[in-house]
Amino acid sequence: MANKKDIKKVVLAYSGGLDTSIIIPWLKENYNNCEVIAVSGDVGQGTELDGLEEKAIKTGASKLYIEDLKEEFIQDYVYPTVQAGAIYENRYMLGTSFARPIIAKRIAEIAIKEGADAICHGCTGKGNDQVRFELAIKAFAPDMQIIAPWREWDIKSRDQEIDYAEAHNIPLKINRETNYSKDKNIWHLSHEGLDLEDPANEPQYEKPGFLEMGVSPIDAPDKPTYVTISFEKGIPVALDGQKMDGVTLIKKLNKLGGENGIGLADLVENRLVGMKSRGVYETPGGTILYKAHQCLETICLDKLTMHEKKKLSVTYAELVYNGQWFTPLREGLSAFADKINENIKKQDIAARYGGDKISVILKNMSHDEAKYMAEYMTYSLSCCLVDDIGPVNKVSVGIATYPDDSMDKEKLLILAEQAVLVSKTKGYNNGHSTIVSAQDYDFWEDTALNSFAAVMAKRHSQLGINFEDALVEQFQSENILSQNHLIEIVTSLASAIDAKDTYTNGHSGRVATYSREIAKRLGYDERGQDEIYMMGLLHDVGKIGVPDAVITKPGRLTEEEFAQIKSHPAKGARILQAIGELPKLAVGARWHHERYDGRGYPDGLKEREIPEEARIIAVADAYDAMTSNRSYRRSMDQKAVREQIEKGKGTQFDPRFADIMIQMIDEDRDYQMRETEGE
């Protein structure tokens, strides 16, 4: 170590926080009144950099470098880590860890340029950052002396640091009561100290000012937000079809995720230096990005590669956490990640996943190529663990391709969703994964697509529009050209119903399938089976006119809210009556909540006053409701469901149709007739 008297110029890693604010005068006091050059690496701290130069000069620095490192940080440090799937101890997305190497590298470069005698940092002797900074500095300036005040001075606590600052008239943005230790950059924000020191204390997510990048899940909106992320070789390049640089993309994802209460992690981590530390992290955009990348991997990676990559991601996370970024091993693992990400994805894929249903839109692919991609995806899902729930052995996949099927995004989405509905029906019959392309059937007609897409566009673009009235108006003006055209409209509507409530996604298709099976066992001919299937698909169409907040409310409904729910049969009948070519469509919608004993709604009909098709749908609807997850409860086991159907014979259900449903339950020994999402 050089003599302190030989230290004439020091480059300081400067953040303007408590530690580095007092280090400038401390260096001048203890290192022969040396020149102090402050360096701040801008990795997205935002307003924390405001007024930094003035503060640094006033406290004794000769100059301040503020280096804009944001885009380099995202492209060369963040994205490679995402590609590698590296998350430390399954929770921590390495926000501080991979920000230190790029800052230290730039500090070392400036120190060499300035002819400095030493580099100084403000990392504590019990923290990880001292190792991260010093390993990176040694990679680029191996002969440079490193000064670490926390390993030299007599200051023992943050309170003593504040005492020192007050004695030297150093302005601070914190006080003794609110001095959480925080680290912020474009990727994340960490919180440590104060009440968080006790693991028994719950983070104060709802306290104003605690969260800075988003809101508590309790305060998040009760409706979904959709975003499409486009990847090139595993690197995100666009949001919702709009190309953008890394900084802009992460900022937009942070806003979306933060508004929806995404990305909060409360954990006790094992630190590099041999202790445990409790921290609360905000990483909204990063959480979305990791999830999207993982979903794409299930499509694009083979079984052995995915499994090996998962093992190596643990090592990668360890290296990043431990400050070993500039090492041959980390570089080698990044080369591996680059290789396996070559197919994630040279072409755009838009996908919607909902339990055991997947709709996929593929760009610039032939029909045969798309089918192959889907087959490969289903194979991968059956072989690999998905979100720690195990292999997925049965999925229903619907495919639409751009531009062969359509060049319009609304049409493509509807085509894919319709194909999924057909696939779901086939899957129920054969008991394994099925794949259906829009090109497999000849009933996808432009007339119906145009009409429904127009209404859907209004739905997505105009707040407060009465979707019920829009549909009635549209259907009254329609000229139904054929039975196929009618089927097209029905499947489009069913897709809209499912999109209304994520908790009941797939409900319409399952009710339709069960209803058709009951009708088949009653001796209905094929046309009658098809009719009741369409009625089942549309039995809940009236929910389109019920507010989302009411449908998805997790707790008990108020009287007013329950009245809104009870209005959906009449609303549904009004919509479907506008389709004059099949008057019976409205039967299931209006009367599926009537009871055999006359105590149902909306009309209080009983026994054979209730149309037969509605009585069939009522049993199928009740069965699926009990076997599906809801916002307010989990699904019931099959034994309990059977008991409820048996108990409802002659009161809630027509005994004949209840007996058939019980027979179907008894035959379903593997419990396949149910929603599988979340299992």
Section 130-141 average pLDDT: 96
Q: What is the pTM of this model?
A: 0.57
CA atoms within 13 A on the CB side of 417: 27
Angle at 320 between CA 191 and CA 337, to 5 degrees: 125
The secondary structure of 530-552 as a DSSP string is HHHHHHHHTTTGGGGGS-HHHHT
What pLDDT score does 316 carry? Answer: 97
Question: How does pLDDT run across 252-303, given as a tens digit for each residue?
Answer: 999 999 999 999 999 999 998 889 999 999 999 999 999 989 888 888 888 8
What pLDDT score does 329 carry? Answer: 95
- Per-residue pLDDT band for 412 (boundaries 50, 70, 90) equals low
- Per-residue pLDDT at 427 exceeds 70: no
Could you give the CA distance from residue 317 to residue 321 in angstroms, rounded to a whole number? Answer: 6
Question: How does pLDDT run across 32-46, given as a tens digit for each residue?
Answer: 999 999 999 999 998
Q: In sequence order, what are the residues at sequence separation of 6 or more whose Cβ sits closer than 8 angstroms to the Cβ of residue 136?
A: 100, 101, 104, 105, 108, 323, 325, 326
- Per-residue buried b or exposed e for 83-116, using 16+ beta carbons within 10 Å of the residue's own CB: bbbbbbeeebbbbbbbbbbbbbbbbbebbeebeb
- Highest averaged pLDDT of the listed ranges 129-143, 345-359, 501-515, 631-645: 129-143
Could you give the CA distance from residue 511 to residue 675 in angstroms, rounded to a whole number? Answer: 11
What pLDDT score does 286 carry? Answer: 96
DSSP 440: G
- Highest averaged pLDDT of the listed ranges 12-21, 440-449, 551-560: 12-21
Q: Which of residues 298 and 364 earns the better pLDDT score? A: 298
DSSP 76: I
Could you give the CA distance from residue 639 to residue 41 in angstroms, rounded to a whole number? Answer: 62
What pLDDT score does 147 carry? Answer: 96
What pLDDT score does 426 carry? Answer: 60
Please write down the long-range contacts of 517-526, taking CB distance under 8 Å and 24 or more positions apart: 517/664, 518/616, 518/619, 518/620, 518/657, 518/660, 518/661, 518/664, 519/613, 519/616, 521/660, 521/663, 522/616, 522/656, 522/657, 522/660
Mean pLDDT value across the chain: 82
- Per-residue pLDDT at 650 exceeds 70: yes
Could you give the CA distance from residue 318 to residue 34 in angstroms, rounded to a whole number? Answer: 37
Q: Which of residues 428 and 79 earns the better pLDDT score? A: 79
Could you give the CA distance from residue 264 to residue 290 in angstroms, rounded to a whole number? Answer: 14
Q: In sequence order, what are the residues at sequence separation of 6 or more whose Cβ sits closer than 8 angstroms to the Cβ of residue 292?
A: 229, 231, 236
Section 55-66 average pLDDT: 94
- Per-residue pLDDT at 379 exceeds 70: no
- Per-residue pLDDT band for 663 (boundaries 50, 70, 90) equals very high
- Per-residue pLDDT at 484 exceeds 80: no
Q: Which of residues 162 and 633 earns the better pLDDT score? A: 162
Best CA proximity match to 676, nearest among 505, 508, 538:
505
User: Are the C-beta atoms of 649 and 658 separated by less than 8 Å?
Assistant: yes
Q: Which of residues 21 and 401 earns the better pLDDT score? A: 21
- Per-residue pLDDT band for 388 (boundaries 50, 70, 90) equals very low
What pLDDT score does 315 carry? Answer: 96
What pLDDT score does 178 carry? Answer: 55
3-state secondary structure of 37: strand
What pLDDT score does 556 carry? Answer: 76
Section 235-248 average pLDDT: 90
Question: How does pLDDT run across 119-132, given as a tens digit for each residue?
Answer: 999 998 878 999 99
- Cis before 602 (ω within 30): yes
What percent of the chain has pLDDT above 70? 74
Torsional class of 604: left (φ above 0), alpha (ψ -120 to 50), beta (otherwise): left
Q: Annotated catalytic sites, by residue?
A: 19, 100, 129, 181
What pLDDT score does 279 carry? Answer: 93
What pLDDT score does 524 carry? Answer: 93
Could you give the CA distance from residue 281 to residue 258 in angstroms, rounded to a whole number? Answer: 12
